[in-house]
């Protein structure tokens, strides 16, 4: 069975080039073309394609909004973003909108074919050139949401927590770290305040959950 495709791009020369390549493939069927986002949404609703290959920067309605509207009515349609933009906001925006693939316009047609095949199998495809952008964005989000011990506590506080969780007394901790007992007590209070934990058994449980110590 052929993969039914709608092609959306506001540049005629891009559409002409892709149309020529797509129509040479017996496994593909080009249903329609569009030069703006609103027409793309309308055609997707009327023709129910398997795949919509679309630009992001289109007049009237951008690719991100068009993708959202298409998938709201037709969640089974696969959206492939084909863009000149490799910046984080464009890539993340299209993926959040529900796109199954993101490729740059300087890619070879064989890469687009591979993306079509993969999204039809409910997989995600990202151009190798933008994979680093996605990883950077993902790591940034993790850091912003990170409430783990490595983000909440300082290095010294983590060291004190581990030693306390291992059963060492305040005096022993002071001896290991070459600091005063009073400093250890201050660190312990800071740890408890930051974690909202106010007794040693709960501190030990926290240290185990975070992988600082093991049973």
CATH number for 149-209 (one of 3.40.190.10, 1.10.10.10, 3.40.50.1220, 3.40.50.10420): it is 1.10.10.10
Predicted confidence at residue 75, as pLDDT, reads 96
- Residue ranges of the chain assigned to CATH 1.10.10.10: 149-209
CATH number of this structure's domain 3-143: 3.40.50.2300
141-151 confidence digits (pLDDT tens): 655 555 566 77
- Residue ranges of the chain assigned to CATH 3.40.50.2300: 3-143
Distance of alpha carbon 42 from alpha carbon 47, whole angstroms? 9
98-139 confidence digits (pLDDT tens): 999 999 999 999 999 999 999 999 999 998 888 776 777 666
Share of the chain above pLDDT 70, in %: 93
Predicted confidence at residue 128, as pLDDT, reads 85
């Amino acid at each position: 069975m052929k993969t039914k495709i709608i092609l959306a791009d506001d540049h005629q020369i891009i559409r002409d080039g892709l149309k020529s390549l797509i129509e040479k493939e017996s496994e593909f069927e080009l249903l329609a073309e569009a030069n703006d986002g609103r027409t793309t949404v309308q055609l997707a609703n009327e023709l129910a394609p398997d795949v919509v290959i679309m630009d992001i920067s289109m007049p009237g309605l951008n690719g991100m909004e068009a993708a959202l509207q298409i998938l709201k009515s037709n969640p089974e349609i696969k959206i492939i973003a084909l863009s000149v933009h490799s910046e984080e906001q464009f890539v993340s925006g299209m993926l959040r909108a529900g796109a199954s693939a993101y490729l740059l316009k300087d890619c070879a047609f064989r890469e687009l074919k591979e993306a079509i095949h993969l999204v039809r199998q409910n997989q995600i495809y990202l151009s190798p050139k933008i994979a680093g952008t996605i990883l950077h964005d993902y790591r940034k989000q993790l850091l912003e949401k990170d409430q783990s011990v490595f983000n909440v506590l300082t290095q010294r506080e983590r060291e004190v927590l581990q030693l306390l969780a291992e059963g060492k007394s305040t005096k022993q901790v002071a001896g290991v770290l070459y600091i005063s007992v009073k400093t250890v007590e201050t660190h312990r209070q800071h740890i408890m305040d930051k974690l909202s934990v106010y007794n040693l058994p709960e501190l030990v449980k926290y240290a185990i959950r975070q992988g600082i110590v093991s049973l």
